[in-house]
Chain A
Amino acid sequence: MLIVLASVLGIASMVGAYFAIHSKSLTVAIIATGVVSLISSILFLLLAAPDVAMTEASIGSALTSAIFFLTLNKIRQTNG
């Protein structure tokens, strides 16, 4: 059962990584990075590491995406 879950999450994270690198839109790329981060937090939970899972979910997924979006907004603003 866990093997099936891990494989599904693995395929999802590979798709997310593909979109993060090859997407034309930066917004899609940033959201895909957040998705990969969130999936990796579930993987940490499967590896019996709840502390790391909490850190990854709050920092890697939420705060990093927020900072990326702030930068993107600033760049668009400068562009006019």
Chain B
Amino acid sequence: MEYIIITIGFALTIFGLYGILSQKNMIKIIIGFSLFTTGINIVMVAIGFIRGGTAPILDEAGKEIGKYVDPLPQALVLTSIVIGLGVTALMLAYVMKLYQDKKSLNINDYKDLKW
């Protein structure tokens, strides 16, 4: 099962990079970033997985099984998701401001640094 899930994670990562590179619409590019983050998070949690382990909560139900997955990647991914929301919101705010200037969502219209 964990092989399938880590495959999904890597596939989402590659999909996300492909989306970032191939799309012209800026909102589509941000969607690509979002997919990329999701894929990376899945991979990180899958690396900490132990076959037959339960969630790292040591109450009675967990102690019966006695085998836990690694809590460290989970804690890191927890913060990574929240930061992902902040970064997405920041990029969307930029897009809103850029659209007010040029009335275009196409990334190729923004050539201010290029001459």
Contact = CB atoms under 8 A, between A and B. Distances in A.
Chains A and B share a contact (CB less than 8 Å): yes
Interface in A1-53: 2-3, 6-7, 9-10, 13-14, 17-18, 20-21, 26, 29-30, 33, 36-37, 40, 43-44, 46-52
Contacts of B2: 47
B61 interface: no
Contacts of A56: 38, 41, 81
Task: Select the residue from A2, A3, A14, A43 with max chain B CB neighbours within 10 A.
Answer: A43
A47 B31 contact: no
Contacts of B31: 20-21, 29-30, 33, 68
Task: Name B's interface SS.
Answer: helix
A55 B5 contact: no
Contacts of A7: 4
Interface string A41-74: 0011011111110011001100110011001101
Contacts of B105: 75
Contact count band on B: 35 or more
Contacts, number: 134
Please give me the 3 A-B residue pairs with the lowest Cβ-Cβ distance, nearest first.
A21-B19, A10-B8, A6-B4
Interface of B: 1-2, 4-5, 7-8, 11-12, 15-16, 18-19, 22-23, 25, 27-28, 30-32, 34-35, 38, 41-42, 45-46, 49, 53-55, 57, 69, 74, 77-78, 81-82, 84-85, 88-89, 92, 95-96, 99-100, 103, 105
19 contacts: A2-B1, A3-B1, A3-B4, A17-B35, A21-B22, A30-B27, A40-B41, A46-B1, A47-B5, A47-B69, A49-B74, A51-B74, A52-B74, A52-B77, A52-B78, A56-B81, A64-B88, A67-B88, A71-B27
